[in-house]
Amino acid sequence: AQSVTQLGSHVSVSEGALVLLRCNYSSSVPPYLFWYVQYPNQGLQLLLKYTSAATLVKGINGFEAEFKKSETSFHLTKPSAHMSDAAEYFCAVSPYGDAGNMLTFGGGTRLMVKP
Amino acid sequence: DTGVSQDPRHKITKRGQNVTFRCDPISEHNRLYWYRQTLGQGPEFLTYFQNEAQLEKSRLLSDRFSAERPKGSFSTLEIQRTEQGDSAMYLCASSPAGRTLNEQFFGPGTRLTVL
Protein backbone atom coordinates (compact mmCIF):
# COMPACT_ATOMS: atom_id res chain seq x y z
CA ALA A 1 0.00 0.00 0.00
CA GLN A 2 1.13 3.49 -0.70
CA SER A 3 1.19 6.36 1.75
CA VAL A 4 2.30 9.98 1.84
CA THR A 5 3.61 11.99 4.78
CA GLN A 6 3.83 15.76 4.70
CA LEU A 7 5.98 17.08 7.51
CA GLY A 8 4.56 20.25 8.98
CA SER A 9 0.85 20.96 8.74
CA HIS A 10 1.60 24.69 8.77
CA VAL A 11 4.56 26.54 7.31
CA SER A 12 5.05 30.29 7.61
CA VAL A 13 7.54 32.26 5.53
CA SER A 14 8.17 35.90 4.83
CA GLU A 15 7.47 37.32 1.39
CA GLY A 16 10.58 36.83 -0.74
CA ALA A 17 11.91 33.96 1.37
CA LEU A 18 12.51 30.40 0.25
CA VAL A 19 9.55 28.04 0.38
CA LEU A 20 10.24 24.41 1.29
CA LEU A 21 7.36 21.98 1.75
CA ARG A 22 8.31 18.42 2.62
CA CYS A 23 6.83 15.21 1.26
CA ASN A 24 7.92 11.63 1.86
CA TYR A 25 6.23 8.62 0.30
CA SER A 26 6.09 4.94 1.00
CA SER A 27 5.78 2.59 -1.95
CA SER A 28 7.23 -0.74 -3.03
CA VAL A 29 8.24 0.78 -6.37
CA PRO A 30 8.76 4.45 -7.23
CA PRO A 31 5.29 5.76 -7.93
CA TYR A 32 4.07 8.74 -9.84
CA LEU A 33 4.25 11.82 -7.60
CA PHE A 34 2.30 15.05 -7.65
CA TRP A 35 1.94 18.37 -5.92
CA TYR A 36 -1.46 20.06 -5.89
CA VAL A 37 -2.47 23.47 -4.54
CA GLN A 38 -5.87 24.31 -3.09
CA TYR A 39 -7.10 27.84 -2.55
CA PRO A 40 -9.99 28.46 -0.13
CA ASN A 41 -13.30 27.02 -1.31
CA GLN A 42 -11.78 25.78 -4.55
CA GLY A 43 -10.81 22.45 -6.03
CA LEU A 44 -7.26 21.24 -6.45
CA GLN A 45 -4.92 22.52 -9.13
CA LEU A 46 -1.92 20.56 -10.32
CA LEU A 47 1.40 22.31 -9.68
CA LEU A 48 3.70 19.63 -11.05
CA LYS A 49 4.14 15.88 -11.49
CA TYR A 50 6.98 13.34 -11.56
CA THR A 51 6.62 10.50 -14.05
CA SER A 52 10.10 8.87 -13.96
CA ALA A 53 11.68 11.21 -16.46
CA ALA A 54 13.81 14.05 -15.05
CA THR A 55 14.23 13.97 -11.29
CA LEU A 56 13.97 17.76 -11.03
CA VAL A 57 10.50 18.78 -12.09
CA LYS A 58 9.46 22.34 -12.81
CA GLY A 59 5.89 23.39 -12.36
CA ILE A 60 3.67 26.41 -12.56
CA ASN A 61 4.07 29.64 -10.59
CA GLY A 62 7.82 29.14 -10.12
CA PHE A 63 7.54 25.93 -8.06
CA GLU A 64 9.78 22.92 -8.55
CA ALA A 65 10.30 19.58 -6.84
CA GLU A 66 13.11 17.05 -6.78
CA PHE A 67 12.54 13.31 -6.68
CA LYS A 68 15.08 11.56 -4.46
CA LYS A 69 14.65 7.81 -4.55
CA SER A 70 17.21 7.14 -1.82
CA GLU A 71 15.31 9.41 0.55
CA THR A 72 11.81 8.52 -0.79
CA SER A 73 11.17 12.25 -0.89
CA PHE A 74 9.59 14.74 -3.27
CA HIS A 75 9.98 18.12 -1.57
CA LEU A 76 8.44 21.23 -3.12
CA THR A 77 10.44 24.45 -3.32
CA LYS A 78 10.13 28.00 -4.57
CA PRO A 79 13.03 30.44 -4.36
CA SER A 80 10.98 33.50 -3.44
CA ALA A 81 7.55 33.41 -1.81
CA HIS A 82 4.78 35.70 -2.97
CA MET A 83 1.69 36.66 -1.03
CA SER A 84 -0.43 34.88 -3.63
CA ASP A 85 1.28 31.57 -2.75
CA ALA A 86 -0.65 31.38 0.53
CA ALA A 87 -2.75 28.23 0.17
CA GLU A 88 -2.97 24.55 1.12
CA TYR A 89 -0.52 22.25 -0.63
CA PHE A 90 -0.99 18.52 -1.06
CA CYS A 91 1.51 15.90 -2.09
CA ALA A 92 0.01 12.81 -3.74
CA VAL A 93 1.11 9.48 -5.18
CA SER A 94 -0.36 7.21 -7.81
CA PRO A 95 0.59 3.63 -8.60
CA TYR A 96 3.15 3.17 -11.37
CA GLY A 97 1.50 1.87 -14.50
CA ASP A 98 -2.04 2.26 -15.69
CA ALA A 99 -3.82 1.04 -12.57
CA GLY A 100 -6.63 3.53 -12.56
CA ASN A 101 -4.28 6.23 -11.38
CA MET A 102 -6.11 6.70 -8.09
CA LEU A 103 -4.40 9.33 -6.00
CA THR A 104 -3.34 8.91 -2.37
CA PHE A 105 -2.88 12.30 -0.72
CA GLY A 106 -0.87 13.50 2.22
CA GLY A 107 -2.50 15.49 5.00
CA GLY A 108 -1.59 18.81 3.45
CA THR A 109 0.57 21.77 4.45
CA ARG A 110 -0.92 25.20 4.87
CA LEU A 111 1.52 27.84 3.64
CA MET A 112 1.26 31.28 5.16
CA VAL A 113 3.20 34.19 3.68
CA LYS A 114 3.95 37.17 5.88
CA PRO A 115 4.45 40.63 4.35
CA ASP B 1 -15.25 27.27 -19.33
CA THR B 2 -15.01 23.54 -20.08
CA GLY B 3 -13.60 22.40 -16.75
CA VAL B 4 -15.11 19.94 -14.29
CA SER B 5 -18.30 21.24 -12.74
CA GLN B 6 -20.12 20.10 -9.62
CA ASP B 7 -23.58 20.82 -8.38
CA PRO B 8 -24.56 21.95 -5.84
CA ARG B 9 -21.58 23.79 -4.41
CA HIS B 10 -23.05 23.68 -0.92
CA LYS B 11 -25.63 21.41 0.68
CA ILE B 12 -27.00 21.58 4.21
CA THR B 13 -29.18 18.71 5.29
CA LYS B 14 -30.55 17.12 8.42
CA ARG B 15 -29.33 13.79 9.72
CA GLY B 16 -31.19 10.92 8.13
CA GLN B 17 -31.99 12.69 4.87
CA ASN B 18 -30.76 11.52 1.46
CA VAL B 19 -28.61 13.78 -0.72
CA THR B 20 -27.39 13.54 -4.30
CA PHE B 21 -24.49 15.35 -5.91
CA ARG B 22 -23.73 15.71 -9.58
CA CYS B 23 -20.42 15.93 -11.42
CA ASP B 24 -19.94 16.89 -15.06
CA PRO B 25 -16.45 15.97 -16.24
CA ILE B 26 -14.47 17.49 -19.08
CA SER B 27 -16.27 16.20 -22.16
CA GLU B 28 -13.54 14.06 -23.71
CA HIS B 29 -12.45 12.48 -20.42
CA ASN B 30 -13.58 8.91 -19.92
CA ARG B 31 -12.29 8.49 -16.36
CA LEU B 32 -14.14 10.05 -13.46
CA TYR B 33 -13.14 9.97 -9.80
CA TRP B 34 -14.84 10.86 -6.52
CA TYR B 35 -12.87 11.90 -3.44
CA ARG B 36 -13.91 13.03 0.03
CA GLN B 37 -12.04 15.70 1.97
CA THR B 38 -12.74 16.35 5.62
CA LEU B 39 -11.64 19.54 7.34
CA GLY B 40 -7.88 19.77 7.71
CA GLN B 41 -7.20 16.55 5.82
CA GLY B 42 -6.15 15.56 2.35
CA PRO B 43 -8.69 14.14 -0.08
CA GLU B 44 -9.45 10.41 0.19
CA PHE B 45 -10.32 8.28 -2.81
CA LEU B 46 -13.89 6.95 -2.89
CA THR B 47 -14.50 5.44 -6.32
CA TYR B 48 -13.76 5.77 -10.02
CA PHE B 49 -15.39 5.06 -13.35
CA GLN B 50 -14.02 4.32 -16.74
CA ASN B 51 -16.83 5.28 -19.07
CA GLU B 52 -19.95 3.87 -17.40
CA ALA B 53 -18.17 1.05 -15.56
CA GLN B 54 -17.40 1.52 -11.88
CA LEU B 55 -13.97 -0.10 -11.62
CA GLU B 56 -12.84 0.57 -8.08
CA LYS B 57 -14.49 1.35 -4.75
CA SER B 58 -12.78 2.30 -1.51
CA ARG B 59 -13.75 0.66 1.76
CA LEU B 60 -14.71 4.21 2.77
CA LEU B 61 -17.68 3.85 0.45
CA SER B 62 -20.20 2.27 2.83
CA ASP B 63 -23.46 0.77 1.61
CA ARG B 64 -25.15 4.12 2.25
CA PHE B 65 -23.12 5.57 -0.62
CA SER B 66 -23.84 4.84 -4.26
CA ALA B 67 -22.33 6.32 -7.38
CA GLU B 68 -23.47 6.04 -10.95
CA ARG B 69 -22.34 7.15 -14.35
CA PRO B 70 -25.14 5.84 -16.54
CA LYS B 71 -24.07 7.07 -19.96
CA GLY B 72 -20.41 7.52 -19.34
CA SER B 73 -20.76 11.27 -19.11
CA PHE B 74 -21.96 12.92 -15.87
CA SER B 75 -21.91 11.09 -12.56
CA THR B 76 -24.01 11.22 -9.42
CA LEU B 77 -23.04 10.39 -5.86
CA GLU B 78 -25.91 9.63 -3.50
CA ILE B 79 -25.68 9.36 0.25
CA GLN B 80 -28.62 7.76 1.99
CA ARG B 81 -29.55 8.29 5.64
CA THR B 82 -26.88 10.93 6.11
CA GLU B 83 -24.88 11.04 9.34
CA GLN B 84 -22.96 13.92 10.87
CA GLY B 85 -19.73 12.12 9.99
CA ASP B 86 -20.61 12.51 6.31
CA SER B 87 -19.99 16.25 6.57
CA ALA B 88 -17.13 16.91 4.18
CA MET B 89 -16.15 18.34 0.81
CA TYR B 90 -16.91 15.90 -2.00
CA LEU B 91 -14.54 16.38 -4.93
CA CYS B 92 -14.91 15.08 -8.44
CA ALA B 93 -12.06 14.75 -10.92
CA SER B 94 -11.75 13.55 -14.49
CA SER B 95 -8.95 12.43 -16.75
CA PRO B 96 -8.46 10.77 -20.11
CA ALA B 97 -7.63 7.05 -19.93
CA GLY B 98 -4.55 5.56 -21.51
CA ARG B 99 -1.26 3.83 -20.95
CA THR B 100 0.49 6.98 -19.85
CA LEU B 101 -0.19 8.90 -16.71
CA ASN B 102 -2.78 11.57 -17.19
CA GLU B 103 -3.49 14.50 -14.96
CA GLN B 104 -6.69 14.50 -12.98
CA PHE B 105 -8.62 17.75 -13.27
CA PHE B 106 -10.62 18.60 -10.19
CA GLY B 107 -13.93 20.34 -9.85
CA PRO B 108 -14.67 22.96 -7.17
CA GLY B 109 -16.31 20.42 -4.87
CA THR B 110 -19.62 20.10 -3.07
CA ARG B 111 -19.49 20.98 0.61
CA LEU B 112 -21.93 18.88 2.62
CA THR B 113 -23.00 19.87 6.12
CA VAL B 114 -25.13 17.39 8.05
CA LEU B 115 -26.90 18.92 11.04
The mean per-residue pLDDT over the stretch A88-110 comes to 86
Q: What pLDDT digit, counting tens, does each position of B9-37 carry?
A: 999 999 999 999 999 999 989 899 999 99
The mean per-residue pLDDT over the stretch A15-41 comes to 90
Enumerate residues 57 to 86 of chain B having a beta carbon within 8 A of any beta carbon in chain A: none
Q: How far is CA A71 from CA A3, A16, A31, A110, B80, in A?
A: 14, 28, 14, 23, 44
Please judge whether B108 and A41 are an interchain contact, meaning their C-beta atoms are less than 8 angstroms apart. yes
Question: What is the per-residue pLDDT for B103?
Answer: 83
Contacts of A23 (CB under 8 A, 6+ apart): A4, A5, A6, A7, A33, A35, A65, A73, A74, A75, A76, A91, A106
Q: How far is CA B92 from CA A52, B19, B21, B37, B106, in A?
A: 26, 16, 10, 11, 6
Question: What is the per-residue pLDDT for A27?
Answer: 79
Please judge whether B45 and A103 are an interchain contact, meaning their C-beta atoms are less than 8 angstroms apart. yes
Pairing state between β B110-114 and B88-95: antiparallel
3 state SS of A98: coil
**Is it the case that residue B100 has pLDDT exceeding 70?**
no
> How would residue A100 be classed by pLDDT, with cut points 50, 70 and 90?
low
Question: What is the per-residue pLDDT for A99?
Answer: 59
